[in-house]
Structure 1
Amino acid sequence: MASVLTIGLLIPQVAAADDAPAFSTALRRQLVLDTAPDQRFSIEERMRHYGVPGVSVAVVENCRVVEARGFGSATVDGRPVDAHTRFAAGSVSKVVASVGALALVQTGQLSLDEDISTQLRHWQLPRQGEFADSNVTLRNLLTHSAGLNVAGFKGYPRDQPLPSLEQILDGTAPANTPAVRIEAEPGKAWRYSGGGFVLTQLLMEDTTQQKFAPLMRDTVLAPAGMKESTYQQPLDAASARQAATGTLADGTPIPGGWRVYPEQAAAGLWSTPSDLARLGIDLVHSLRGKPGVLDTDMAKQMMQRQIGNWGLGVEVSPEGKPRKFSHTGAPVGYRTLWLMYPDTCQGAAIMTNADEGMTLTHEIARALADTWRWPDAAPSSMVTTSALTPEISARFVGEYQLRDFPAERFEVTVQPEGHLGWSRKGRGLRDLVAKGPMELVSPDSGMRLVATGEPSAQADTLELHFPGGVNVALRVKEGSR
């Protein structure tokens, strides 16, 4: 089997058109091909490739926002994205909410390590059976170690009634997600839970006797200079006029423009890349002993590894890598990547209005790493390819379903240009290249499709290798639909 070599890429010598920033023509994929090791793309090319209508980027260099640009369209009628266009930030909301919770810890209104039941007034987390005597703390909630379920939220159409926090936590109508409950021993393992941040929101409201949106405006957003950000759900009219329309995975706009998230601390922030960049700068200032929303000790606690690669509300870089704190956001119709290198005070916030935008945000981040010489070069991997023969095409082309999730289906097809593509129902097409007679790989995502068993005219079983694991897919036979 051909080998995959990790390579560090030098700053590309690419000319940007007009006043376009250099990074905008320097995007690179997760995998680079041995046949085109220096290949770069423009943001516009990759937006078309992924079906992303709009992107906004803010770049931090030496604790200053030095670049804030929009690309493409914010709305169906073609309103262009600019630096002031607002996007749904999804789970990046958790970072800002964590800063708010830690600010309350600073003032003695909340405790990181006391059981939350002492400060909850209107609702209590059920603790039964083996968890009857378990303590759940704010530290557990912010580090995703409370053992709680409900990873994420679907949002609500703008014309539908919204549940209260108690209805969300109990999973009762009109809530559209299950009840938030303890399913693993608190404090023992990392288990991502948006439900834990709904509980954090309730804790903050109960403690301060304030609604979450104005509390966060006064505690974090205004002090950090985030003047174009809000947790208001639904959006007020003025904010709605600046909002980008979200795009579903099949390329269609969200009916009504976007969904509403009453789970504000978990997923309800609307923001701009520049505002998210300002928050990153504020946190770095705090780490360096300068005035910020958090004091230095609290900022250091936030960025300290608590469990796995997780601090208090932020992901932190693994041991042996340059220091970084970051988070991603993936509400319906939008994708966000936010990251900061505190030792050099460099970073970026990248926001898109499309379900298919996350891979694009990482390609932009690689271009920024090259252009601004970030501490982590974010190297791509080089893949040695083989010629795509008719035999290889015949072996892989067809429809498949995941063995353990039969409703999940995908196709491998021959494209008009002659290469192969991978597509999931309702999602965009991804290019595939051959690594050999029994393996295909996606340069965009790094996904590998490996035909198992003896070589044959048609593969009946494929292994899908992702960074997170392996799934087995079975060829769909005629009449099995």
Structure 2
Amino acid sequence: MDILHRLEKEILSADKLESDGVPSASIAILDNGRVSAHVISNGKEDIDTVYQACSISKAIVGLAVARLIDQGRISYDTKVVNHLSQSAIDCLVDVKTAHLLQHVTVGMLLSHTSGLSQGGFEGYPNHPPDVETVLAGKQGSNTPKIHFLTLPGAQFSYSGGGFTVLQLVLENVTGQTIQQLMQDLVLKPLDMTRSWYGNLPPSEQNYTSAGVTGYTRCEPSHHNFIELAAAGLWTTPTDMLKTVVAVQDSLYTSTGFLTTATAQAMLAPLSLDTGLYSGTNELVAGRCVGGWQGNSMTFAHSGQNFPGYTSLLLGFIPGGTGSGNEENHAMHRSGIAIMTNSLIGHNVCINQLVSAMFHLKGWPRYRHLSAGFREENWVPYAASEATVVDAAWREWKGSWGPAWRIVESENGGPAVGYKDFPPMRLRSAAVGAAAGDDKKELMFVVDGIDVGVRFTWQGEERVVEVMQKEILTLRRS
């Protein structure tokens, strides 16, 4: 049985996913260069069913920009004012801010440092207005005017509005619509046959509708976008992983999708050197120059579209896993893509699914990943009932804080008690492999409720951490 079928059989059934509020989760894993895919659903979705990629659309546009850089047609320093019509410029600025647009570059739009407004877009249940109507915030637009919130290059501010301006710039540079240039520069070369920017074709039947809950779908089934560079990609997890392979190949070799220099520049950490930071070079954590999110271990992007899609794309960086710099290390050719048709997908299942796949693969434990992953923000799934609990848990037996205790359950494993409540069994959590040092850390979930319990250390002292959106750290009482 492959890892993704084990994932459904041992950790997350379609029934549980549905009752948690998510109709379906389409998952693909890139494991040492090989892709496998699976859908957890009680519906009709299969591995070729398309979902909205949401803001992952931005990262894929970042690949198109990188290809244009390799072709010598554009650079991260290209001034955008030279590639916008006067009517588009008039939508963005007034007499007080016209000079600011002269300083905005393609790189600033990609890295969300242009100073332009509007974080995200909701799309439209029917026909969206044209791009300039959205930029101007005029009648027909459901978002206000795109304008300067701050100075170009001065600070990070997530801006779907900036990517909508980038859409016009790319169309001007190439002489093509955003739909066609993305096909020519990225989707077709990477054989992403189940991917496109724009509305669903009238003949397309294999798409999933957004969900209000796991049992109730939205009406209409989805929204349409004119802000395509920001949020307009339909695709599958399998297709998305083709972009991860392309980036990894470009980082490894000189015959990849991009030149190695351009791939490295695209994933370079974003830094700001401004008076806002007392003249120091302030690293903007988790953000890259070329439209992605990343760190020394991974490159990634996440997304969320109204009324009900969420997504994640995650790839590993060569030499970034801490397990050696050899280029053929398995995790250097690995990645994960997950798409759901629920607005609560990130909190309800995407974070937990990534953790569970690390667990099933035996990949190293992580506390933080790019694309906003912080382990303390969510409670993982329980591992299979067959998982053997590490006997080291007994070192944490006893009373903790004013009201908590760790005791032995009837089956000989750990349990947690609170005040005079009967103790509740702790099940091993589906998280990555523990670090191989003397100070072993163990992670559990309370059987039956959405609470995590971590047996860990602060310096030389054992502590217990209770996790449910926030962390309560307990010391022996």
CA-CA distance at 1:388 after TM superposition: 6.2
| Aligned counterpart for 2:190 among listed residues 211, 214, 224 | 224
CA-CA distance at 1:254 after TM superposition: 1.7
CA contact (8 A) 2:3 2:360 kept: no
Q: Which residue of 2 aligns with 1:288?
A: 252
CA contact (8 A) 2:18 2:24 kept: no
Alpha carbons of structure 1 residues 331 and 133: separation in structure 2 relative to 1, 3 Å: closer
Alpha carbons of structure 1 residues 152 and 389: separation in structure 2 relative to 1, 3 Å: farther
| Aligned counterpart for 1:139 among listed residues 107, 110, 131 | 107
Equivalent-residue separation in structure 2 for 1:442 and 1:258 (angstroms)? 38
Is 1:24 aligned to 2:5, yes or no? no
Is 1:257 aligned to 2:226, yes or no? no
| Aligned counterpart for 1:213 among listed residues 169, 176, 179 | 179
CA-CA distance at 1:253 after TM superposition: 1.5
Q: Which residue of 1 aligns with 2:161?
A: 195
Q: Which residue of 2 aligns with 1:355?
A: 343
Q: Which residue of 2 aligns with 1:126?
A: 93
Alpha carbons of structure 1 residues 48 and 277: separation in structure 2 relative to 1, 3 Å: same
Q: Which residue of 2 aligns with 1:96?
A: 60
Q: What amino acid is aligned across from residue 88 of structure 2 in structure 1?
A: W
CA-CA distance at 1:48 after TM superposition: 3.1
Deviations 1:104-152 (CA, angstroms, capped at 9, x unpaired): 2222222311321011125113165367345111100101111111000
Is 1:236 aligned to 2:224, yes or no? no
State percent identity of aligned pairs. Answer: 29
Alignment TM-score, normalising by the size of structure 1: 0.69
CA-CA distance at 1:165 after TM superposition: 0.9
Q: Which residue of 2 aligns with 1:60?
A: 30
Task: Note the residue ranges of structure 1 that are not aligned, 5 or more in a row.
Answer: 1-15, 27-40, 391-418, 422-429, 436-440, 451-481
Alpha carbons of structure 1 residues 376 and 128: separation in structure 2 relative to 1, 3 Å: farther
Equivalent-residue separation in structure 1 for 2:365 and 2:264 (angstroms)? 21
Q: What amino acid is aligned across from residue 359 of structure 2 in structure 1?
A: D
Higher relative contact order (CA 8 A, sep 6+): 1
Q: What amino acid is aligned across from residue 89 of structure 1 in structure 2?
A: A
Alpha carbons of structure 1 residues 91 and 64: separation in structure 2 relative to 1, 3 Å: same
Report the 3-state secondary structure (helix = DSSP H, G, I; strand = E; otherwise coil) of the residue aligned with 1:278.
helix
Alpha carbons of structure 1 residues 375 and 289: separation in structure 2 relative to 1, 3 Å: farther
The RMSD of aligned alpha carbons is 3.0
Report the 3-state secondary structure (helix = DSSP H, G, I; strand = E; otherwise coil) of the residue aligned with 1:140.
helix
Q: What amino acid is aligned across from residue 339 of structure 1 in structure 2?
A: L
CA contact (8 A) 2:212 2:342 kept: yes
Q: What amino acid is aligned across from residue 287 of structure 2 in structure 1?
A: W
Alpha carbons of structure 1 residues 129 and 370: separation in structure 2 relative to 1, 3 Å: same
Q: Which residue of 2 aligns with 1:372?
A: 361
Report the 3-state secondary structure (helix = DSSP H, G, I; strand = E; otherwise coil) of the residue aligned with 1:112.
coil
Q: What amino acid is aligned across from residue 123 of structure 1 in structure 2?
A: A
CA-CA distance at 1:203 after TM superposition: 0.6
CA-CA distance at 1:96 after TM superposition: 0.6
Is 1:335 aligned to 2:304, yes or no? no
Deviations 1:46-91 (CA, angstroms, capped at 9, x unpaired): 41342111111110011221x2111114xxxx32x21101000100
Q: Which residue of 2 aligns with 1:29?
A: none
CA-CA distance at 1:25 after TM superposition: 4.7
Alpha carbons of structure 1 residues 111 and 174: separation in structure 2 relative to 1, 3 Å: same
Q: Which residue of 1 aligns with 2:418?
A: 387
Equivalent-residue separation in structure 1 for 2:20 and 2:191 (angstroms)? 33
Deviations 1:267-289 (CA, angstroms, capped at 9, x unpaired): 00000000001111111101112
Is 1:167 aligned to 2:155, yes or no? no
Deviations 1:202-256 (CA, angstroms, capped at 9, x unpaired): 1111221211111101110011121110102x210233x1110111369631212
Alpha carbons of structure 1 residues 222 and 335: separation in structure 2 relative to 1, 3 Å: same
Alpha carbons of structure 1 residues 357 and 366: separation in structure 2 relative to 1, 3 Å: same
Report the 3-state secondary structure (helix = DSSP H, G, I; strand = E; otherwise coil) of the residue aligned with 2:287.
coil
Is 1:302 aligned to 2:266, yes or no? yes
Q: What amino acid is aligned across from residue 446 of structure 1 in structure 2?
A: K
Report the 3-state secondary structure (helix = DSSP H, G, I; strand = E; otherwise coil) of the residue aligned with 2:30.
strand
CA contact (8 A) 1:369 1:378 kept: no
Alpha carbons of structure 1 residues 84 and 434: separation in structure 2 relative to 1, 3 Å: closer
Equivalent-residue separation in structure 1 for 2:211 and 2:252 (angstroms)? 39
Report the 3-state secondary structure (helix = DSSP H, G, I; strand = E; otherwise coil) of the residue aligned with 1:59.
strand
Give the total of aligned pairs. Answer: 363
CA-CA distance at 1:190 after TM superposition: 1.1
Q: What amino acid is aligned across from residue 387 of structure 1 in structure 2?
A: Y
Is 1:446 aligned to 2:469, yes or no? yes
Equivalent-residue separation in structure 2 for 1:97 and 1:330 (angstroms)? 17
CA-CA distance at 1:45 after TM superposition: 5.3
Q: Which residue of 1 aligns with 2:333?
A: 345
CA contact (8 A) 1:341 1:375 kept: no
Alpha carbons of structure 1 residues 235 and 243: separation in structure 2 relative to 1, 3 Å: same
Report the 3-state secondary structure (helix = DSSP H, G, I; strand = E; otherwise coil) of the residue aligned with 1:163.
coil
| Comparing 111-120 and 140-149, the one that deviates more | 111-120
Is 1:113 aligned to 2:113, yes or no? no
CA-CA distance at 1:446 after TM superposition: 2.2
CA contact (8 A) 1:88 1:334 kept: yes
Q: What amino acid is aligned across from residue 338 of structure 2 in structure 1?
A: I
Q: Which residue of 1 aligns with 2:279?
A: none
Q: What amino acid is aligned across from residue 346 of structure 2 in structure 1?
A: M
CA contact (8 A) 1:326 1:340 kept: yes
Alpha carbons of structure 1 residues 208 and 287: separation in structure 2 relative to 1, 3 Å: same
CA contact (8 A) 1:336 1:349 kept: yes
Report the 3-state secondary structure (helix = DSSP H, G, I; strand = E; otherwise coil) of the residue aligned with 1:161.
coil
Report the 3-state secondary structure (helix = DSSP H, G, I; strand = E; otherwise coil) of the residue aligned with 1:238.
coil
Equivalent-residue separation in structure 2 for 1:442 and 1:254 (angstroms)? 36
CA contact (8 A) 1:226 1:275 kept: yes
Alpha carbons of structure 1 residues 287 and 19: separation in structure 2 relative to 1, 3 Å: closer
Deviations 1:404-434 (CA, angstroms, capped at 9, x unpaired): xxxxxxxxxxxxxxx9x9xxxxxxxx84699
Q: Which residue of 2 aligns with 1:324?
A: 298
Q: Which residue of 2 aligns with 1:71?
A: 40
Task: Note the residue ranges of structure 2 that are not aligned, 5 or more in a row.
Answer: 272-283, 319-331, 369-374, 380-399, 405-415, 422-445, 455-464
Q: Greater share of helix residues, 1 or 2?
A: 2
Q: Which residue of 1 aligns with 2:329?
A: none
Q: What amino acid is aligned across from residue 356 of structure 2 in structure 1?
A: A
